[in-house]
Amino acid sequence: MFQVVRFVQGLANLWPSPAFHQGDAAQVFFAAHQFLQQVPGGGVVVDFIAAGSDLARLATELEEVIEGAGGHIDASRDSALRDGAHRLTGFDRQIHARLAQRQGLRQPPSRRAGDQQHQHQGGAHKPLHAAPKPWFHKPILLEIQSGHDNGRMTDHTALPSFAALGASPLPHLGVIRATGPDAASFLHNQLTQDFLLLDAHHARLAAFCNAKGRMQASMVGFKTGPEEVLLVMRQDLLAQTLKRLSMFVLRAKVKLSDVSAELGVWGVFENATDPPWTCRAMEAAGALGATANNSAAPAQAWSVKLYPASGVSRSLQLWPVGFAPKLPALALEDWLLGEVLSGIADVQVACFEAFVPQMLNYESVDGVNFKKGCYPGQEVVARSQFRGTLKRRAYLVSSSLPVQAGQEVFDGVSPVTSPAEGEPAVNTSQPVGQVAQAAHHSVHGDWALVCLQTSAADATLQAGAEGVLTVGSDGAAVLSLHPLPYALREDI
C-alpha cells in the first residue's frame, strides 16, 4: 500500500514542475488509473483522488476495503499510509484547476454542498461507492467483452456433438517433472503464468517464449506436492523445451526430467461441473489395471479440468503407466476435434515461434498473468497488450478439405494464377494468417484454429457470401468462420 501512495505522491510532485506539459493532464491521470487498477488496493487510492474526496479519510477507507476482502495492513505500514494520504489532500484540487485552465474554464466546478459540510464534521465516513465523481471523470470499463462479432460469423451450423463419457490415451502429449525447493519459483520466472501462488487445487495454462515473445511451447502445469510440478505439453516439442529450460537452471535448486515413460496422459469426456483449470488428485488403486500393478505403481493420479468442447466437459488425466480411467473407450479423433472446438490451440513444431500468446487468445483463457514478474519475452507480451493494437487473433473455422498446422491462410481476393503451363496454381496474394491447430474427423469433417489478421476476418464477414478464406497456395481448401466458445477479454 505504501508503494501505491508513494507512486501517487510522485505524480503530485511532478504536476507543478516546469517540465510537466499541462495538456497531458487527463492522459497522465487515466494512465495512472489504469496502472493502479492492477495493484491490489491501488484502484481504491485513485478512486478517492478522482472523486475529489477528503483524502485524510483515505487510509481508514482503504483499511475497511482491504480487510473486508480478507487482506490486512500491518501496523508498520498503517502510519505511513495515513501520513501519505494527508500529504495528498490538495492533489485532486490541483487536477481540477489545471484541467479547468486547460479547457478555458474560469473556475473548476465546486464540490457538492454535502461534501464540503462533511469535511467540517466528524460524522461517519461515507461508503466508497457514495463518493462523487469528478467533472472530467471517464469510467474505465472492467467487464469482459468479446473481440469477435459472433453474431456475424459466416457459418452458424451446429458444432459437432460427442459422447458424454469416454477416455482416450493421448500419445501426442508428454510430461516434464520439475522437482526441488525452487521448482515453482524457477517455472514462475520462465513461463507466462504465476506458479508461485499455485496451490494443489488449480492448474495453469502457460507458454514458454523466446526473448521476442514468440511461443516456443505451451503447457498445462500443476503441483503434485510442495516441491514438485508436472508440465503436460506436446511430445514433438518436449525434448527441445526441456533442453532450453535446463539452460536457465544455473544455481536454482530444481531438477527437470522427462517422465513420459512413467505417466500416461489421458483425455477424458465427463459430466463434471468444475470450472476450467481446477485440479484434483485421485486414487490410482481404483483404476483399471490396479489389481495387477498396484504394488509397483504410485498411489495417485491427477485430473485437470479443461475448457469444454461443443458443450462437453473435458479433462486431462495423468495415470501411472499400466493404469487407465474406468470409462468407455473414446476415439482419439473425437478428442483431437474437441481440442480444436475448445478454441485453445497448443503450440507444436509446425508453429514454433510463430505466435505471441495473444495471437492464440491466451490472455483470454488464463494463459498469461500480467501482474507477475519477468520471464523471457515478457516485455513484448505486455507491450502487445497495453501499448499497441492486437492485429492477429485466433478464430475457429471449418474447412472443405483437410488442412495442417503451419499452412498459410489467404483471403481469396487476389486471383489464383498459374505461372507456367503445366505447373500448379499459385495464390499471388500475401497470406493473412496461419493454421495453428487442425483436426480431421471421419464424421464431422475438418476443423481448425487459425491465427488471422483481424482486418482480414472483418473483411470476410463484411463481404458475406462473397468473402472467402482459403488455405494453401492452390486455394482449394475453403474456410468458414464459426463463433468462438469464449469471449475475448478487452480489459485485463
Residue 11 has pLDDT above 90, yes or no: no
Task: Provide mean pLDDT across the span 168-184.
Answer: 97
When pLDDT is cut at 50, 70 and 90, the band that residue 487 belongs to is very high
The pLDDT of residue 426 is above 60: no
Q: State residue 465 phi and psi, 5-degree precision.
A: -65, -25
309 pLDDT more than 70: yes
pLDDT(361) > 80:
yes
**Residue 147 resides in a domain:** no
Contact 94, 15 (CB under 8 A): yes
188 within some domain: yes
Are residue 394 and residue 332 in the same domain, yes or no? no
- 95, 188: one domain: no
pLDDT above 70: percentage of residues in the chain: 60
Do 322 and 183 fall into the same domain?
Answer: yes
492/486 Cα distance (integer angstroms): 15
The pLDDT value recorded for residue 30 is 42
* pLDDT, tens digit, 9 for 90 and up, residues 428-443: 578 999 999 999 999 9
Residue 125: name the closest of 175, 59, 182, 190 by CA: 59
- Which is more confident, 360 or 113? 360
The whole-number pLDDT of residue 68 equals: 54
Which CATH number does the domain housing residue 302 bear? 3.30.70.1400
Q: Could you list the residue range(s) of the whole structural domain that residue 12 is in? A: 2-130
- Answer yes or no: do 24 and 51 share one domain: yes
Neighbour-count burial for 433-464, b at 16+ CB within 10 Å, e otherwise: bbbbbbbbbeebebbbbbbbbbebbeebbeee
- Residue 273: predicted pLDDT: 87
- pLDDT for position 412: 67
- Among 317, 341, 365, the domain boundary falls at 341
Cα(188)–Cα(184) distance, integer angstroms? 6
Instruction: Identify the residue with better confidence: 373 or 28.
Output: 373
Residue 145 belongs to some domain of the structure: no
Question: Residue 408 to residues 165, 469, 483: CA-CA distances in angstroms?
Answer: 35, 10, 21
Higher pLDDT, 485 or 384: 485
Residues 315, 216 share a domain? yes
Q: Does 348 reside within a domain?
A: no
* pLDDT tier for residue 489 given thresholds of 50, 70 and 90: confident
pLDDT in tens, 367-399: 999 988 899 999 999 888 887 778 999 999 999
State residue 180's pLDDT score: 97
User: Which CATH number goes with the domain that contains 394?
Assistant: 2.40.30.160
Query: So what's the pLDDT on residue 473?
Result: 76
Instruction: Give pLDDT, residue 360.
Output: 97
- How many angstroms separate the CA atoms of 404 and 417, rounded? 23
Mean residue pLDDT across the chain = 75
Based on the fold, state whether residues 365 and 393 are members of the same structural domain.
Answer: yes
Per-residue pLDDT at 100 exceeds 50: no
What whole-number distance in Å separates Cα of residue 312 and Cα of residue 38? 34
Same domain, 274 and 199: yes
CA distance 409 to 433: 5
This model's pTM is above 0.75: no
Q: Is residue 347 part of a domain?
A: no
pLDDT at 233 over 80: yes
159 domain residue, yes or no: no
Are residues 335 and 391 part of one domain? no
Q: Tell me the three-class secondary structure of the chain, residue by residue.
A: CHHHHHHHHHHHHHCCCCCCCHHHHHHHHHHHHHHHHCCCCHHHHHHHHHHCCCHHHHHHHHHHHHHHCCCCCCHHHHHHHHHHHHHCCCHHHHHHHHHHHHCCCCCCCCCCHHHHHHHCCCCCCCCHHHCCCCCCCCCCCCCCCCCCCHHHCCCCCCCCCCCCCEEEECCCEEEEEEECCCHHHHHHCCECCCCCCCCCCEEEEEEEECCCCCEEEEEEEEEEECCEEEEEEEHHHHHHHHHHHHHCCCCCCCEEEECCCCEEEEEEEECCCCCCCEEEEEEHHHCECHHHHCCCCCCEEEEEECCCECCEEEEEEEEECCCECCCCECCHHHHHHHHHHCCCCCCCHHHCCCCCHHHHCHHHCCCCCCCCCCCCCHHHHHHHHHCCCCCEEEEEEEECCCCCCCCEEECCCCCEECCCCCCCCEECCCCCEEEEEEEEECCCEEEEEEEEEHHHHHHHHHHHHHCCEEECCCCCEEEEEECCCCCCCCCC
* Distance (Å, whole) CA 263 – CA 171: 11
Please give the pLDDT value at position 147: 43
* Average confidence (pLDDT) over 460-484: 83
End residue of a domain, out of 130, 147, 177: 130
Q: How confident is the model at residue 113 (pLDDT cuts 50, 70, 90)?
A: very low
Least confident among 82-96, 432-446, 452-466: 82-96
Confidence of residue 400 (pLDDT cuts 50, 70, 90): very high
Query: Exposure of 127 by Cβ count < 10 A (0-12 exposed, 13-18 middle, 19+ buried)?
Result: exposed
pLDDT at 386: 84
Q: How far apart are CA 48 and CA 63, in angstroms?
A: 13
Asked if residue 390 is part of any domain, the answer here is yes
To which residue does cell 521476442 refer? 212
Q: Mean per-residue pLDDT for 353-366?
A: 96
Tally of structural domains, the chain:
3
Q: 67: which 3 cell numbers?
A: 480487510
Residue, of 116 and 239, whose pLDDT is higher: 239
**Together in a domain, 270 and 361:** no
477 and 395 in a common domain: yes
- C-alpha–C-alpha distance, residues 448 and 345, integer Å: 9
Which of 471, 451, 467 lies closest to 459 in space, CA to CA? 467
Same domain, 402 and 465: yes
Write the pLDDT tens digit of every residue in 31-72. Answer: 444 444 444 444 444 444 443 434 444 445 555 545 555 555
CB 267 within 8 A of CB 380: no
pLDDT classification of 159: cutoffs 50, 70, 90: confident
**What pLDDT is stored for residue 179 in this prediction?**
98
What the block records as the C-alpha cell of 304 is 485437470
**Bigger pLDDT: 110 or 389?**
389
Is there a contact between 369 and 192 (Cβ–Cβ < 8 Å)? yes
Q: Looking at per-residue confidence, does 83 or 341 come out higher?
A: 341
Q: Are residues 257 and 328 in the same domain?
A: yes
Residue 475 lies in a domain: yes
- Give the pLDDT score at 286: 55
pLDDT of residue 424: 57
